[in-house]
Chain A
Amino acid sequence: MYSYIVRRLAFGLLTILGVSLIVFTVLRVLPGDPLVAIFGPEGFTKLSDAERARYMADLGLSDPLLVQYLNWMGDIVRGNLGRSFFRSESVAEMIARRGPLTAEIGIIAVILSWVVGIPVAIVSALRPNSVSDNVSRFFSILFLAIPGFWLGMLIVLASLFWFGYRVPLAGASLLEDPWTNLQVVIGPAVVLGLGQGAYIARMARSSLLEVVREDYVRTARAKGLPGRLVIALHALPNAMLPVITLSGILLGFVLAGSIPVERAFGTPGLGYAMYNAVRERDVFVMQNLVFLYAVVFVALNIFIDMTIAWLDPRIRYR
């Protein structure tokens, strides 16, 4: 187990290095002048050549690319994530303030996706190709097709229309004001959770149908165990492994999906900060946020892999 953990961690570090190279290439090396982004096309043409050169030097953009990359990595290791061109708050402060809200949304969404997805999958798999199976399959595919941010806009609109209710705009921390916090978080979490629940239901259904064919399930039936118990005690635990792996991948969907969904709800989370950075073409904030999201995603997947290895000795001893 320990050698597996060490191998997986080393591998994760390599991945993060690769990820940083991709982020740097995409946001710094590709064409597109950051000064145009900062000053706008009009402001940019008003700058003299000397001013342009000075700004580029101030921002560290006239250094060779390798130096720029190493400086960036050094800053990240020191925890200095820079600041936005347009806001006084530093990126680190912004993450500390907005991050918890998005993390909360993600956690509730994942729990919800299991609570919704697994029962639907069991109902489907108990009688494959029955009416209830077809209905639940159609609904899971429907929820994959509905864009989360649109569902969010509809919910905002409907609650305003019918109940005159508007979500409080200011985020509040879970400890200080749990009621306001819940109102802010619940909308995005439900929307993202339903979308993910659809994936979970599909995966759990096909995984259950595969496991049900195994010999040990037949043995359990043969010894006279009732059908429900066979599923609950014998089939379900083994069928869950691919679903747990999928959950890791889906966390990425939640992280990314929360960007447009937070915009739809006006939630003051990290996703909304990402939307602001994109809208303002704020290259440096974007660079650090994209890197942060990718690192969180990689770390979560390492955690999931270890959980799986802990649950399933076949992987541990490979």
Chain B
Amino acid sequence: MTATDPEIALDASPIVAAAEPSRWRRVGRGLRTFIRRAPFSAFWGGLAAAILLMAIAAPVLAPYEPLKSDFRAMTKPPDEKHVFGTDQIGRDTLSRIIYGSRASLTVAIGAVLFGTTLGALWGLACGYFGGRFDIASQRIIEFLQSFPDLILAMAIAMALGAGLGTVIVAIAITRIPFGGRVIRAVVLSLKEMSYVEAARGLGASHLRMMARHILPQCIAPYLILATTHLGVAIIIEASLGFLGVGIPPPTPTWGNMLADSLNAGLVPPWWLVLFPGCAITITVLAFSLLGDGIRDLVDPRLRGALRQ
């Protein structure tokens, strides 16, 4: 503890370099344990990873351009040329679903990175400092939670005007209260632990206490929360698209495709309804079951705090 800062910095670099391979091995071992102990969740985790890869590799995987219309093949049911059929202006449904995963995942990951993380850090500060700051913060969180998620997201998306960025912001804001509540509860129980008191007794600063002693314990609950929120964010994004306040067309998103199908005539063709919805359901299912698996694997003590 007597070491001054520059010395720590000098010492740190070789240690990190040496630790690098073992860290990878540790991740590999963790993965193997996960697969062995929760094969079901691991399968869905693999599927979630595959969907992520599909979004990244969309230009390679998609058989057609998602925006190119083919006027010789309009509203065609599935056949061997267009496996999932085409829409009313002859765009290939499979290609649009593959590209649609980009919009869904970008929005979901963006919303969770901003919203859940901001909420979690806010909750960390609330739980750690307590007092008036906490009371005021809890009121604001309460106000935000007085809106059903989708309605708040709709109002924000409408006020800011449609676009990728605004949809991310709108969904992120609805995620803040949940992150705040869960992490605050975790921090409140951590604060009573003797090792935290010991660190305080040694004269650690607030920042050091939070970053070194409290934050690491919050990572597991945060991860569980984030995976679950990914699924919720995907559903909200699809609903916004369906209601016409999501990412504006012609960008293919799953919600936009379902909204479009209602304009395809008096009776929407079944392939335009079935496949995009399946894409949403499978993706959300993959992320929620992965989240469940992580929760079962980590410390059972956390389950109480997370259920709220």
Which residues in A have some Cβ–Cβ distance to B below 8 Å? 14-16, 18-19, 21-23, 26-27, 30-32, 141-142, 144-147, 149-151, 153-154, 157, 160-161, 206, 252-253, 255-257, 259-260, 263-264, 274-275, 278-279, 281, 283, 286, 290, 293-294, 297-298
Contacts and interface: CB of A to CB of B under 8 A. Distances in A.
Interface stretch (B55-63, B81-89, B112-120, B285-293): B285-293
B147 A293 contact: yes
A294 B288 contact: no
B155 interface: yes
A149 B148 contact: no
Given A31-B160, A153-B268, A259-B154, A145 B147 contact: no
A26 B146 contact: no
A18 B288 CA distance: 32
A72 to B, nearest CB: 15
Given A145-B285, A281-B158, A260 B242 contact: yes
B150 interface: yes
B110 interface: no
Interface string B139-158: 11011101111111011101
A150 B277 contact: yes
Contacts of B156: 26, 30
Contact of A147 (B146, B159, B274, B280): B280
Give the bracket for the number of chain B residues in contact with chain A. Answer: 35 or more
A263 B280 CA distance: 18
Contacts of A290: 147, 151-152, 154-155
A145 B284 contact: yes
A32 B151 CA distance: 18
Contact of B235 (A147, A157, A298): A147
Contacts of A150: 238, 258, 273, 276-277, 280-281
A145 B160 contact: no
B149 A256 contact: yes
B269 to A, nearest CB: 9
B245 interface: yes
Tell me whether chain B's interface is mostly helix, strand or loop, or mixed.
helix
Contacts of B152: 26, 290
A119 B241 CA distance: 35
Contact of A286 (B155, B285, B289): B155
Contacts, number: 141
B147 A278 contact: no
Contacts of B262: 153
Nearest to B173: A26
A240 to B, nearest CB: 16
Nearest to A161: B270
Interface of B: 139-140, 142-144, 146-152, 154-156, 158-161, 231, 235, 238-239, 242-245, 258, 261-262, 267-268, 270, 273-274, 276-277, 280-282, 284-285, 288-289, 292, 307
B161 to A, nearest CB: 6
Given A18-B143, A149-B258, A294-B147, 8 more contacts: A14-B139, A22-B143, A30-B156, A141-B288, A144-B284, A151-B277, A274-B154, A294-B146
A147 B148 contact: no
A145 B273 contact: no
A8 to B, nearest CB: 13
A263 B147 contact: no
B144 A26 contact: no
Contact of A157 (B142, B146, B267, B276): B267
Given A257-B150, A286-B155, A263 B143 contact: no
A67 to B, nearest CB: 20
Nearest to A142: B285
Nearest to B268: A157
Contacts of A16: 146
A257 to B, nearest CB: 7
A121 B243 CA distance: 33
Given A141-B285, A298-B146, A147 B239 contact: yes
Contacts of A160: 267
The 9 tightest CB contacts between A and B, nearest first, are A256-B148, A18-B143, A150-B277, A252-B148, A256-B150, A145-B284, A145-B285, A30-B159, A260-B239
Contact of B281 (A26, A146, A206, A263): A146
B150 A19 contact: no
A252 B148 CA distance: 5
Nearest to A287: B155
B258 A19 contact: no
A32 B161 contact: yes
B54 to A, nearest CB: 18
Given A22-B144, A154-B273, A286-B158, A263 B150 contact: no
Nearest to A293: B151
Given A154-B277, A259-B243, A27 B155 contact: yes
Contacts of B142: 15, 18
Contact of B155 (A26, A206, A253): A26
Contacts of B154: 259, 274, 278, 290
A297 B145 CA distance: 10
Contacts of B148: 252-253, 255-257, 293, 297
Contacts of A18: 139-140, 142-143, 146
7 contacts: A16-B146, A23-B155, A145-B288, A149-B242, A150-B277, A256-B148, A290-B152
